[in-house]
Amino acid sequence: MENKINFFVRYSETDQMSFVYHGNYVKYFEMGRIDWLNKLGFSYKKMEEDGILLPVIDLKINFKKSALFDDKLSLTTKLVKTPSYMIEFDYKIFRDEQLITTGYTKLIFLNAKTNKPMRCPSSIIEAIKKV
């Protein structure tokens, strides 16, 4: 399943040279994941309230071109494979249909009470199968 969002680079996300500060790409990927889950019918907030945490355990970013203040960007978020204890996403950021950044994250499902890994909720797996 793939999801796409569009957004503009805010001034506060840039450095002194007007380039997007590299740490903000992690926030962009988070925006993509949260929207991906919402489109699937799941709320990140509700999952946390239900005792499910999703910390990032692996992150990769490949910068091809710089994004600048006020650029309109498109972010695609794609599930890599059916989740088990972990869920993996690939990301692509485009400006004017030109690929400028790629990325990857791996998150682990954790039980908030025990802080131990847990399986992906079956409701999420079932929703993925329907897409």
pLDDT in tens, 45-61: 999 999 999 999 999 99
* Residues 62-79, mean pLDDT to the nearest whole number: 97
Architecture of domain 2-130: Roll (3.10)
What pLDDT is attached to residue 70? 95
Active-site pick, 15, 50, 58, 70 = 15
Angle CA 129–120–56, to nearest 5: 115
CA 127 to centroid of chain Cα atoms? 18
What pLDDT is attached to residue 14? 96
| Active-site annotation holds for 15 | yes
- Domain boundaries along the sequence of the chain: 2-130
In this structure, the chain runs to a length of 131
What pLDDT is attached to residue 1? 84
DSSP secondary structure letters along 58-125: EEEEEESS--BTT-EEEEEEEE-S--SSEEEEEEEEEETTEEEEEEEEEEE-EETTT--B-PPPHHHH
Whole-structure pTM value: 0.94
* Residues 30-36, mean pLDDT to the nearest whole number: 97
Element (H, E) at 56: strand 56-63
What pLDDT is attached to residue 22? 95
